[in-house]
Amino acid sequence: MKTRHPTRPAPSTPIGKPLLTIDDLKVSYGGIRALKGVSIEVKRGEIVAMIGANGAGKTTTLKTIVRLLPIVEGKITYDGRDLGTMSVEEVVEAGISLVPEGRAIFGGLTVRENLELGAFNHKRRAEMSETIDDVVALFPRIGERMKQEAGTLSGGEQQMLAIGRALMARPALLLLDEPSLGIAPKLVQQIFEAIAKVAESGTTIVLVEQNTRLALKYAKRAYVLRTGEIAMTGDTKTLAANEEIKAAYLGG
Amino acid sequence: MMAWYKRAGVSVALLGVCIVLELTFHLIVPDTAYRNLIQLALVNVVVALSLNVINGMAGQFSIGHAGFIGVGAYTAAIIASNIHKSLGERAETFQNSFLVMPPAIIAAALVAGAFGFLVGLPSLRLKGDYLAIVTLGFAEIFRLVIMTSPPGVETGGIRATIGQLGGPQGYSGPDRYGVAQYAGPFWLFGGVIVATIIAWRLKFCGWGRALRALREDEIAAAAVGVDPTRYKVTSFVIAAMGAGVAGAMWACMRDGNPSVQPDQFNFALSFDAITMVILGGSGSVSGAIMGGLFVTITVKMIEQLQRLDVIEAWKVQHPDFDLNALRMVVYAVVLIILMIMRPAGVFGENEVTRFRKREPAQAKA
């Protein structure tokens, strides 16, 4: 993505310093504790991956960041501000966008309407169409299907649309929840290349992924979650060489 | 976007139409029964338009709309009748209606809106059938509390206060001379016009689009900054306020029922409202208007058909046959045929002006 438009609002955190800090986060679903004290640090400009098996708490962490789940204990700080006191809207306004799991697009709306909703909080029309141009430059397939109902797109295209919609808010921090889930390998490749481009343009990315190989390839650092706790963390190169990771997540 | 002078022009024209209708309606439709039918249809259009906000646009399912209509009807009846009394119980003239109707309508909308807020709160945690039960519960509680609090039984406390509403006999003004009936054609047509404009604008502004997003996928909507809590509760409040206005129009309707009775706001009324919305097409403003008119008029037409000589003669020959029950059967058959022919309602989610395909918003070239 060309950096014609810097992210908005631009974070005050300098590049390379922690943009998002999660400190000892505890979250419960009903009576079940999904997160038992997770601490994560994401520096501005990097791609950080969160890997782990089903039920490890990856999606829970992302949902808690965007205020869809209440914080039981702990603190989430974004760009020096406490996210705990913010509403869903304020989080988007502050520059965080989530691409939810399972291509959660608005199936009954057209592709264009989906994208426009992504910029729901910013209503300046001219800017919106420029941002749409950027998204189309990133995903040309989306540009060809603007008037189509989003529900008629293929799985990969829906995921592209979901990412495009999140980019419409021009986030400084993009949270991706399993972008490769159930998508044809060829399209997965395209999607990850697009994600890399988005990162190059200066957007910080948190990538939740079950496809560990992909995650370790594209991210700089990674956190390994296991049953609501951080089991391991480090450089992706180091993790990829780790015997335990190889055995558990990379298939030996 | 219309220029301001165009908008002002349209407003003045619509106001003029309402005034002309006020002055000439009894000449255009001389038969009181037909006039009443049309007035009732107008009230039902506002009922359908307001329910469409919850059931159609927001995708929630309320089966307790009668409760909000009832709250509005009682509120308006009390306010209108008391103002009427303080005016010295002079004739219910058009000039005086401007002193009575605005406070009555505003109070009805506010009180109903407050109840809408209360009922809307559980909608954050409840979905589908469960929410429906809460809304039904509210409407039934409202109706039964009034039903079981007859006046004069208790002398103090909350039941005595509720007893002032007249219990099962209903409320008919402070001195029981009947509810003041100031809502002539001006207020009824005006109410429909204002409700239509508001519903239309809600649907096609960012708010309506956010509601549609919420209906499609809640998490995705939240991810783009649409706060599910706020939008759901607001849609409940707006729908309840609309129902309150409809209730006010009904209670104060000229030549209407002189008392407001709790049993008018039973489940059948909620159900009729749902029928209007679904029949016209959930989410469609045009559909709600059509549904409101269709349901009111069909029910009445079947009643009229029963009085035909052929039917009357046949009734004499077959005295066991309960034609009154048959009325509902005919009504049901009409609904079933319509739903088979157009499963998404007559209009689907479309409008009269955009019937073919939703026009995608134009991009800047």
Q: How confident is the model at residue B60 (pLDDT cuts 50, 70, 90)?
A: confident
Q: How confident is the model at residue B365 (pLDDT cuts 50, 70, 90)?
A: very low
Of B206, B212, B224, the CB nearest to A165: B224
Q: How confident is the model at residue B238 (pLDDT cuts 50, 70, 90)?
A: very high
Q: How many domains does chain B have?
A: 1
Locate the domains of chain A by residue range. 18-249
Residues of the domain holding B97:
35-265
Pairing status of strand A73-78 against strand A81-82: antiparallel
B117 belongs to a structural domain: yes
On the question of pLDDT at A233 being above 60, the answer is yes
pLDDT of residue A182: 85
B82 belongs to a structural domain: yes
B139 belongs to a structural domain: yes
List the single range of A190-194, A240-244, B107-111 with lowest mean pLDDT: A240-244
pLDDT of residue B330: 76
B331 belongs to a structural domain: no
pLDDT of residue B151: 83
Q: Are A125 and A161 in contact (CB under 8 A)?
A: no
Task: Inspect the interface and report whether the beta carbons of A88 and B217 lie closer than 8 Å.
Answer: no
B5 belongs to a structural domain: no
The helix (run of H) or strand (run of E) holding residue A176 is strand A173-177
Is the entire prediction scored with pTM above 0.90? no
On the question of pLDDT at B197 being above 90, the answer is yes
Provide the number of CB pairs (under 8 Å) joining chain A to chain B: 91
Q: ipTM, 2 decimals?
A: 0.78
CA neighbor of B355 nearest in space, from B281, B305, B245, B271: B281
pLDDT tens per residue across span B119-170: 988 877 777 788 889 999 999 999 999 998 888 777 777 878 888 888 888 8
The helix (run of H) or strand (run of E) holding residue B361 is none
On the question of pLDDT at B355 being above 70, the answer is no
B245 belongs to a structural domain: yes
Chain A positions touching chain B (beta carbons under 8 Å)? 63, 66, 68, 87-89, 91-93, 97-100, 104-110, 112-113, 116-118, 120-121, 123, 125-126, 129, 132, 146-147, 162, 165-166, 168-169
List the single best residue of B203, B211, B224 to mutate versus A (max A Cβ within 10 A).
B224
Percent of chain B with pLDDT over 90: 42
Q: How confident is the model at residue B1 (pLDDT cuts 50, 70, 90)?
A: low
Nearest 5°: the CA angle B65, B227, A61 is 130
pLDDT tens per residue across span A165-220: 999 988 999 999 999 988 988 999 999 999 999 999 889 999 999 888 899 999 99
B27 belongs to a structural domain: no
CA neighbor of A206 nearest in space, from A65, A86, A1, A31: A65
Q: Are A21 and A150 in contact (CB under 8 A)?
A: no
Q: How confident is the model at residue B256 (pLDDT cuts 50, 70, 90)?
A: confident
Q: Rounded to 5 degrees, what are φ and ψ at B309?
A: -60, -45
What integer best gives the mean pLDDT of chain B? 86
Mean pLDDT of B264-274: 91
Of B216, B227, B363, the CB nearest to A106: B216
The domain defined by A18-249 folds into Rossmann fold (3.40.50)
